[in-house]
Structure 1
């Protein structure tokens, strides 16, 4: 079986990360910002898995499991924040986030 070169994997991860970063910078909708953050986390995960595969180490898979745990926590907190924003302001605009006070 022919292995995919590490450079191709890192290029794919870089492209995914840049797409996610552009989504975070340009969007005003909080839901789209959270989805862009997920794309960025998945790009980092692809880079870890690819590097671990190229170096024949399980460290990349372990780091990806930690990234998935972080992503799950981010989704839980982000959705709670979205529900609060929708209830109070009837909008998911990120500018309304500064009006939320504990």
Structure 2
């Protein structure tokens, strides 16, 4: 049996890798992957806290399933936006989006 603390460490590691990737990358796809890492860290926390606080109930797991669904919808919309930006500017860098301001 894996202790719950290991899940918290894994979640924190995924969260900080995601935040670091989002802050340092200028590629839109890499930034989307970083956001997905952060959301996966949240999902792990939902499940781990449910196991720790209420082992007989499933609210944390249902929240995890709901979050995975929202993450999938968010990723689909983000990929559509990224493809539209790439089609218009022939670049997937964040700097090309600044041209949309004017």
**Could you say whether these structures have the same fold, taking a TM-score greater than 0.5 normalized by the shorter chain as the test?**
yes
- Runs of 4 or more above 3 Å deviation: none
Unaligned 5+ segments in structure 1 are none
Count of residue pairs the alignment pairs up: 99
**Partner residue in 1 for 2:42:** 44
- The match for 1:64 is 64
Please report the TM-score for the alignment, with normalisation by the length of structure 1: 0.89
Shift of 1:77: 1.1
* Structure 2, unpaired ranges of 5+: none
Q: Quote how far apart the aligned CAs of 1:5 are.
A: 2.1
Render the CA deviation track for 1:62-93: whole Å, top value 9, x for unaligned.
11111112111211111111111111111100
Question: Structure 2-normalised TM-score?
Answer: 0.89
C-alpha RMSD of the superposition:
1.3
2:88 aligned with 1:80: no
